[in-house]
Amino acid sequence: MALISIKNIDEIKKDKRGKAFVLFYKSGTPNSDCAYDNLARINDATIYTVDVNDVRNLHQHFGVNSVPSFVILKDGKVQNIVKGCQTDNYFSQIINEEASNVSNSGDKSQKRVVVYSTPTCTYCNKLKQYFNKHGVKYTDINVATNQTAAMEMYRKSGQRGVPQTEIGGQMIVGFDTRRLSRILNIPTE
Query: Hey, where are the domains in the chain?
Result: 2-100, 113-184
Strand order in the sheet with 19-25: 2-5, 46-51, 19-25, 69-74, 77-83
Contact 163, 115 (CB under 8 A): yes
Q: Domain 2-100 is classified in which CATH homologous superfamily?
A: Glutaredoxin (3.40.30.10)
- Residue by residue, pLDDT tens for the chain (189 residues) are 456 777 767 767 666 667 788 899 999 999 999 999 989 988 777 888 999 999 888 887 788 888 998 988 877 778 777 888 888 877 887 777 655 443 333 445 668 899 999 989 999 999 999 988 888 888 889 999 889 889 999 998 999 999 999 998 889 999 999 999 988 888 876
Residue 182 CA to chain centroid, in angstroms? Answer: 25
Are 2-100 and 113-184 equal in CATH topology?
yes
How many alpha carbons lie under 13 Å from residue 99 in its C-beta half-sphere?
A: 13
> Measured between alpha carbons, how far is 8 from 118 in angstroms, rounded to an integer?
35
Which CATH architecture does the domain made up of 113-184 adopt? Answer: 3-Layer(aba) Sandwich (3.40)
| pTM metric for this prediction | 0.53
Residue 130 contacts residue 183 (beta carbons within 8 Å): no
